Structure 1
Amino acid sequence: MSEASGQRRPSLRRRLLFILLLPMLLLLVIDAVITYGVALNYSNRVHDADLANDVRTLAQMFRSGEVSSDLPQEARFLIEYEPDGHNYYNVRSSKRGLLGGNGDFEQPPPPAADASPELFYSRLAGRPLRGAALSLRSPTDPSDVLTVTIAETLRDRQHRARQILLLAIPLQTFLILSVLSLVWLGVTRGLRILHPLTRRLAMREHELEPITGADVPVEILPLTRTIDGLFERLRTVLSLQERFIADAAHQLRTPLAGLRLHVDRARGSSDPAVVRDALEHIEQLTERTARTSTQLLALTRAQSPWKERSTTGDVDLAKLVPRAVEMRIPEALRAGIDLGYQGPDHPAVIHGDAAALQELLDNLIDNILRYAGEGARATVSVLPLPDQGVLLQVEDSGPGVPPEALERLGERFFRVAGTQASGTGLGLAIVQQIAQQHDARLGFGAAVGGGLRIGLQFPSASKS
């Protein structure tokens, strides 16, 4: 989509920043929760220490004088004063019960006399409290144990923790923004490593050589190797195109020149016999040109690496081959050739492209009809090989091929010297290309009693 459409192009820098931003925001939230927990724990420890000191101070007042329900003004100020909350206290005697206080809150059993203060949580009118209790022996009656308890609300503790959190969040936010800025700067500078590759590509005109070099970063190697693979396929396609153009020019030049010659003959002569002869030659040359063009296209298609994977599947040669032979029997009868099929009654399945295999069979049978000669016998057979695949074999009783020419069968435009039958020399080249696509082994040899034998061994469907 163009820039004018209003949509921004994707940016690697923005994408990296957004990818990092969400986790960092999540980390900020987690860090805030942890910071608040740590601050609250610290505030609790400080307040617990103050609470224990307060209860010790109050107990010391009782040790130094007579115990009564009325506390000195200084003691009341010490206990009840809290700017952001409220403190409560009570004094209990093991013999006389509650001696005084300003709050009747729940508290655990009293600690042992003269032991360290015990801290506990309690509630008063639905409000949570934190308390400290200390037991001591009465100065006037050693058999009596006094329990001094002081409790305070949690508001001041939470307020102090929130203050610490509010101080920490701006600093943490500033650090995260600084990290994102450094990441942005680092990515911007880091992407400069791509500039040599960009310049190298910009200087190219029509070259399709690989772009992966020593200066390509490891992170984009998969991309450059994919591009190299695309270049390789493009080179193959362009090579096929150039070869097709050269082959077409080479193979079609002669028949097209012949067509023009015989057209001129027909135009320049009033003799019906000459015109008829010219038209017959035109018909033959037209058929030759059409067949050459068809086979050139078939060979190019067979050589092309761009295959539709969806066209491949399991193909039963025990069904495909007899149908292909049956379709060519009328031509074989006109050529005076006894064409037959031999194969198993059970399936002979391979993995491949049914259309390409049909093309292969058409060229094998066409090779028989053109070169076996009148009166020859030809058999197309399918033979399953246990654990080795399927053997497709074509055998005829024709004149055969000299041993020195067997190795060249399958070359483009190669024709055995002395052959009188018309042909393009492309049929077996097409067969060879399709065989390679199916991982089949192609072999040529002499048939028993003379003639030519062509064998293709396909791997079984389970091994493909």
Structure 2
Amino acid sequence: MKRPSPARPSLRRRLLVFLLFPMAVLLLLDALLSYGVALGYANRVHDRDLGDDALTLAKLLRNNPLGSRLSRQARFLLEYDPDGRSYFSVQSSDHGLLAGDDRLTPPSSLAVTTEPVLYDTHLDGHALRAAIVRLEMPDDPTDRLTVAVAETLHDRREQAREILLLAVVMQTTLLACVLSLVWFGVRRGLRVLDPLTARLAARSNELSPIDGPDVPQEIQPLTRTIDALFGRLRDMLALHDRFIADAAHQLRTPLAGLSLHVDRALADASPATRDDALAHIQRLSRRAARTSSQLLALTRAQALPPEHGEQHPIDLARLIPEMVAQRVHEAIRAGVDLGYEGEPAPLCVLGEAAGVQDLLDNLIDNAVRYAGRGSEITVRLHARDDGGASLVVEDNGPGVPPELLPRLSERFFRVGASAEPGSGLGLAIVQHIASRHRAELAFGNVEPHGLRVTVHFPPPPATMVVSP
């Protein structure tokens, strides 16, 4: 059973989610803040009313003679409570408790004055807010009348909740409107990508840049990345087309020769003709194989720019002698004296061991092929004054005319006077490998005759550690 593919991420949904959660948190924080502000407002209003009630009651009782009974107006003020609970205390310094609850006493640290003083207390498991005031009796200056009035916090909290409910309803409605506007704005805003989408949809095999004046600046990093990818694809396709063209050009002659000599061998069954045809077939097969390998090597060298190569610290003083030693037996079979001269001290550069191997192999192959039998080829390695390294491959062959030295690294270029077969790709491969190592390639003649090819490697980074 085929599993359903996961849902693709939505930019609109992602933007809305990123906005919804912070706004929900802000709504919660705003609700808490609104409740605190509403409760503070309710406390201030109730505290003012409670203080006014205590002061009004004290003044009312102050003008009446004290005794065991309170006036009807005073008792109404004391006993009325919307919550059904009344807490009050009326005390005289001379007559004691006149009415109410004697437990409604302020803390000892509270200074009772002629102005209402508010404090918090508890009675019968209820949290109360109380106001107390003390006045002198007009008919008896030694007597002090203390009136305390308290109420529960129910009304205050109920009023704060009502204010909060109104605020939350309005804020939720505002939030819904804001989200609707954001949704509409996001949908309209993302339409700016429609021209870019239309341009891409209208393309077939075109790899030109897609960035343009109508691309929003927020999308430019994406379009520039795509343009860079298109550029690399163009380079790879151009390299692919060049490889095909080069292969067709270079392999046409050996393949035609192979077909010709096969026809000769089939047409004439004599041993001499057959042996001659097989010899030519063998030579052309080797030429085709070498040309193919060099085309592949050239393409590989051109495939990656220097900044994309997998380069590591390498010690040329250890690597180059090993590479030269691997070619000694081939040089002996070719009748060439191959030698190495170098310094024993480590000589480090940043590069690719495989790339250096290809570079040296092509230099030696070129020297062996064009210097000829009986020649001498010397590979030298020495340090430079700037901290870099120089790799030199020198032969005592016929050399190259000075006017042709600058063209030696061109693809398919061969010195016209040379009778040795070749593809003209060896030094072009060396040039590309040297470029990948940020090295310089130089050609020069040797007196009295011969060719010297020098590769100047740049100094390594100061923090480079050589791999064992």
Q: TM-score range by the shorter chain?
A: over 0.9
Counterpart of 2:423 in 1: which secondary structure?
Answer: coil
Which runs of no fewer than 5 residues in structure 1 stay unpaired? none
Cα offset, 1:222, TM superposition: 0.8
Deviations 1:80-118 (A, max 9, x none): 32223633111233455544323513513454543x211
Q: In the aligned structure 2, how far is the partner of 1:442 from the partner of 1:213?
A: 40
Query: How many residues are paired up?
Result: 461
Tell me the percent identity: 56
Read off the aligned partner of 2:139 and give its amino acid letter. Answer: T
SS in structure 1 of the partner of residue 218 of structure 2: helix
Matched residue, 2:186:
187
What amino acid is the match of 1:161?
Answer: A
* Alignment partner, residue 57 of structure 1: 56
Structure 1 contact 85–152 (Cα < 8 Å) conserved: no
Normalization by structure 2: what TM-score? 0.93
- What are the equivalent positions in structure 2 for 1:58-457 lying under 5 Å apart? 58-84=57-83, 86-95=85-94, 97-102=96-101, 104-109=103-108, 111=111, 113-114=113-114, 116-305=115-304, 311-457=310-456
Describe the shift of the 1:28–1:268 C-alpha distance in structure 2 as closer, same or farther (beyond 3 A).
same
Counterparts of 1:71 and 1:139 in 2: how far apart (Å)?
A: 17
1:274 & 1:194 partners in 2: Cα distance? 73
Q: Describe the SS at the equivalent of 1:419.
A: coil
Report SS of the residue matched to 1:462: coil
Q: Is the 8 A contact 2:264 2:277 kept in 1?
A: yes
Contact 2:314 2:351 (8 Å CA) reproduced: yes
Structure 1 contact 113–145 (Cα < 8 Å) conserved = no
**Distance in structure 1 (CA, Å) of the matches to 2:56 and 2:78:** 10
Q: Secondary structure at the match of 1:100?
A: strand
| Separation (CA, whole Å) in 2 of partners of 1:390 and 1:383 | 6
- Tell me the secondary structure at the aligned position of residue 279 of structure 1: helix
- For 1:207 and 1:103, the matched residues in 2 are separated by 96
> Which stretch shows the higher mean deviation, 247-256 or 329-338?
329-338
In the alignment, structure 2 segments of 5+ residues that lack a partner are: none
Distance 1:310 1:61 in 2: 100
Comparing 156-165 with 69-78, which one deviates more in the overlay? Answer: 69-78
- 1:48-82 Cα shifts (integer Å, max 9, x gaps): 11101101111111221123353333323323322
Please give the alpha-carbon distance, in whole angstroms, between the structure 1 residues aligned to 2:386 and 2:73.
105
Offset of residue 209 of structure 1: 0.3
Contact 2:93 2:143 in 1 (8 A): yes
1:398 shift after superposition: 1.6
Whether contact under 8 Å (2:439, 2:455) holds in the other structure is: yes
Cα distance between partner residues in 2 of 1:137 and 1:263: 140
| Further displaced range: 222-231 or 122-131 | 122-131
Q: What amino acid does structure 2 have at the position aligned with 1:293?
A: S
| SS of corresponding position for 1:287 | helix
d(CA) in 1 for partners of 2:212, 2:31: 47
Cα–Cα, structure 1 residues 85 and 9, in superposed 2: closer, same or farther, change >3 Å? farther
- Contact map agreement 1:66 1:139 (CA 8 A) in 2: no
Q: SS of 1:92's equivalent?
A: strand
State how far apart, in whole Å, the 2-side matches of 1:80 and 1:339 are: 123
CA distance in 2, matches of 1:44, 1:341: 99
Report how far residue 297 of structure 1 moved: 0.6
What secondary structure does 2:237 align onto? helix
Q: Which residue of 1 aligns with 2:4?
A: 5
Displacement, 1:319?
1.7
Residues 238-297 of structure 1: CA distance to partner in whole angstroms, max 9, x if unpaired? 000110010001000000000000000001002211110000000000000000000101
Whole-angstrom CA distance in 2 between matches of 1:106 and 1:387: 96
Higher mean displacement: 292-301 or 369-378? 369-378
When residues 73 and 461 of structure 1 are mapped into structure 2, their CA distance, relative to the original with a 3 A threshold, is farther
Maintained 8 Å contact 2:35/2:161: yes
Conserved in 1, the CA contact under 8 Å of 2:306 and 2:438?
Answer: no
Q: State the one-letter code of the partner of 2:327.
A: R
CA contact (8 A) 1:393 1:454 kept: yes
Q: Please give the per-residue CA displacement for 1:185-226, whole angstroms capped at 9, x wherever unaligned.
A: 001111111111111112212110000000000111011111
Q: Name the CA distance, whole Å, in 2 between partners of 1:77 and 1:310.
A: 97
Question: Partner of 1:5: helix, strand, or coil?
Answer: coil
RMSD between aligned residues: 2.1
